[in-house]
Amino acid sequence: MLLHNTLTRVTQEFSPIDPGAVTLYTCGPTVYNYYHIGNLRNAVFNDTLRRALQGAGYNVLHVMNITDVGHLVSDADDGEDKLEKGAKREGKTVWEVAEYYTDCFKHDMAAMNVIPPNGYKSSAYHDTYARATEFIPDQIKMVKRLLENGFAYITKQAIYFDISKSPDYGKLSGQTLSSKETAVRSEVVTDGEKRSPHDFAVWFFAVGTFSGHTMQWETPWGKGFPGWHLECSAIIHATLGDPIDIHTGGIDHIGTHHPNEIAQTQGAYSHELARFWMHNEFMLVDGTKMAKSKGNSYTLRDITDRGFHPLAYRLLILQAHYRSEINFTWESLSAAQNTLLNLYAWADLKHQQNLAEVRLSDTDIPEFLDRVKTALSDDLATTAALSEIFRYSTSLAPGMTLPADDFDILLSELDLLLGLKLNGRPNITGEQQAIIADRETARIAKDWAKADKLRTKLAKHQLEVSDTPNGPRWRRTSL
């Protein structure tokens, strides 16, 4: 399998450290607001990677965190904690805010058919996401190691990672510290004792602006809460063990968050954090970055409110390579929805077995599936994988019947790889089947008026019938 590694900047052959399981970690949501469609692109990218690895025969252990503490409004060390800000906005406690948006996030993941992580099981929440607040002892242990190893120092306000101790800090981003310096905004340096603006907090003390911080934990150095970057390193160490095989995120994490994770693990445990780093490009809206202020920061709810299916959005994402920008427009979503309808019309032939025209043979199916898997093994070439499916699903040969079980297996295999839910779609109802049969009888009797009336009736059921030499075919006109 070939994967593009941000760390080496080349697309290289992937093989896991332990052939028994690929260890995969993904930075998860900060649960203070709804996920937007850009975040959902990241979720679909992770899911596609996981499915492609599984399709290539690997067992995958996947851990994803949920940031329910410590993420300040800026990714640097200034601003309010996002959770505290959300709590004020909504008149709720931080715990309620975290719980609410975690549920929303999980709902979105299910709607987008994203496989939940499986590499960790939370006993407190009975789910498989690793919440930062469940790993406080691990984070404190990490701070202790960083202090003992001389990679961190204490001020009155916080404990900072000392970047000068990490000479290869820029190896992921390719940025030198001096070039990063110019990008650091002056107001970030709010702590006079901070040695360099690049140093980042691994622990904040509940003093000054944070004295009223709701989430606080005891440490040997004072009460407080963890810095945002710390949790990922600590969770990886505690669950999958470092180094892991693959770490993923969106491209915005290449500059700060991921280098900080790498530096922390190196400083605390003298380990590389991950061998492969993979990053998805951005989802733009109308050619620009999404922003609440511009009113173009859509959620999945906005998509479904306009009558689109979540999996139409999934298909829109898959139609581009994960390392290319996508420009979201309602027109492109509408086109993706039509394409999904066409794919579903093909899959629905399953229910029209005795009349099926799908050209499949014993050798056809494995060869076709191999072509789809080969595309995905080429750095997740989803565009090429979908082209294979479109070509196959439209190359019908009239009169050839299809072994029902084979078609069923084929659709399930495609679902495992792309998550578009082609299989398991319900048949039309008995009432709808009876209308189709009545219409066919009327047509044979040349009672065109009745046949037309029944066609109109079917349209109300969102069904369209076409007459073929082998009998009537139905397809759904909406998702």
**153 touches, from Zn ion, ligand AMP, none (C-beta below 5 to 8 Å by class):** none
Contacting range for Zn ion; rule: CB under 5 A; set: 81-89, 224-232, 321-329, 400-408: 224-232
- b/e string for 40-65 if b means 16 or more Cβ within 10 A? bbbbbbbbbbbbbbebeebebbbbbb
Binding of Zn ion at residue 142 (CB under 5 A)? no
**29 touches, from ligand AMP, Zn ion, none (C-beta below 5 to 8 Å by class):** ligand AMP
Residue 453, both tokens: 């009336």
> Which residue lies nearer to ligand AMP by CB, 123 or 293?
293
Q: How far is the CB of 364 from Zn ion (least distance, A)?
A: 43
* Cα–Cα distance, 239 to 261 (Å, whole number): 15
Strand residues in 257-300 grouped as ranges (E): 274-280, 283-285
* Cα–Cα distance, 302 to 305 (Å, whole number): 5
β-bridge pairing 471-476 and 463-468: antiparallel
Q: How far is the CB of 195 from ligand AMP (least distance, A)?
A: 27
Contacting range for Zn ion; rule: CB under 5 A; set: 19-27, 272-280, 281-289, 341-349: 19-27
Q: What angle do CA 210, 212, 217 make, to 5 degrees?
A: 80
Count the Cβ atoms, other than its own, within 10 Å of residue 415.
17
> Contact 32/97 with Cβ under 8 angstroms?
yes
Q: How far is the CB of 283 from ligand AMP (least distance, A)?
A: 4
Q: One symbol per residue from 26 to 45: x for binding Zn ion (CB under 5 A), - otherwise; what is it?
A: -x------------------
**Terminal-to-terminal C-alpha distance of the chain:** 34
> Which residue lies nearer to ligand AMP by CB, 109 or 358?
109
**385 touches, from Zn ion, ligand AMP, none (C-beta below 5 to 8 Å by class):** none
**224 touches, from ligand AMP, Zn ion, none (C-beta below 5 to 8 Å by class):** none
Binding of Zn ion at residue 232 (CB under 5 A)? yes
Dihedral sign, CA of 466, 472, 478, 479? negative
> Which residue lies nearer to Zn ion by CB, 42 or 382?
42
The residues pairing with 276 across neighbouring beta strands, listed in sequence order, are 246
> Which residue lies nearer to ligand AMP by CB, 30 or 377?
30
* Cα–Cα distance, 200 to 267 (Å, whole number): 13
**42 touches, from Zn ion, ligand AMP, none (C-beta below 5 to 8 Å by class):** ligand AMP
Q: How far is the CB of 114 from ligand AMP (least distance, A)?
A: 13
> Contact 77/188 with Cβ under 8 angstroms?
yes
| CA-closest candidate to residue 232, choices 126, 139, 121, 125 | 139
| CA-closest candidate to residue 350, choices 311, 406, 398, 395 | 406
Q: How far is the CB of 25 from ligand AMP (least distance, A)?
A: 12
Q: Which residue is nearest to ligand AMP (CB)?
A: 250
Q: How far is the CB of 228 from Zn ion (least distance, A)?
A: 8
Q: What residues line the site for ligand AMP (CB under 6 A)?
A: 27, 29-30, 38-39, 41-42, 249-250, 252-253, 280, 282-283, 290
Interacting residues with Zn ion (CB under 5 A): 27, 232
